[in-house]
Amino acid sequence: MESPAAATYTPDSTPQTETSTLTFFCLEPGQDSTAFRVLNEEWIQRFFTLEAVDHEILNHPEDSILAKGGRILQVAQAGVTVGCLALIPKQPGVCEVGKMAVAPDRRGLGIGRKLLAFALEQAAEMGLRKLTLNSSTRLPNAVHLYESVGFHHLPKQQWPPSEYLRTDVVMEMDLPR
């Protein structure tokens, strides 16, 4: 799928109408990843503090995601990237859903749900058997969205070590084979 022209979301971008067409695409090596960084920095700084792992992933997504076999998924509206999500390899057949963000003026319009559906399509294409994610109770809308598409909570004693201090929710989803 051909990606739209590089256009980066900025907080002062003119909001698009709810009926504007959404275009989903995978960021390819060498393409501009600024929107991925900017969209994620916005929500992380709003609710938490950027941690070392955030800086590594957001400043070097080709090395930390793409070169390891992962994917960075983006959604554009009227040529402007308004959402993103990464499938970050953790072990063979398993990726973490991470760095999911939707532009503040686009939240509540179902874009995140559609982005997750695109992620599930990509996971199937990649032949993954499981998706995992780390989240926080400070993000109840995100946790509810993950639950609604089939992620289930892991009991704390089953949590793998987290790279993030903010993690207090760990979820996973087995994928059909």
Q: Answer yes or no: are the C-beta atoms of 132 and 102 closer than 8 Å.
A: no
Domain range 22-174, CATH class = alpha beta
Share of the chain above pLDDT 70, in %: 89
Task: Enter the pTM of the model.
Answer: 0.89
Residue partners of 91: CB distance under 8 A and separation at least 6:
none
Rounded to whole angstroms, how far apart are CA atoms 42 and 14? 17
Bridge partners, residue 88, by sequence: 96
3-state helix, strand, coil in the chain (%, to 5): 35, 25, 40
Greatest Cα pair distance, the chain, in angstroms, is: 46
**How many other CB atoms sit within 10 Å of the CB of residue 49?**
9
Once rounded to an integer, what is the mean pLDDT over residues 2-29? 61
Extents of the domains making up the chain:
22-174
85-143 pLDDT, tens digit per residue, is 999 999 999 999 999 999 999 999 999 999 999 999 999 999 999 999 999 999 999 99
| Model confidence at 1: pLDDT above 70 | no
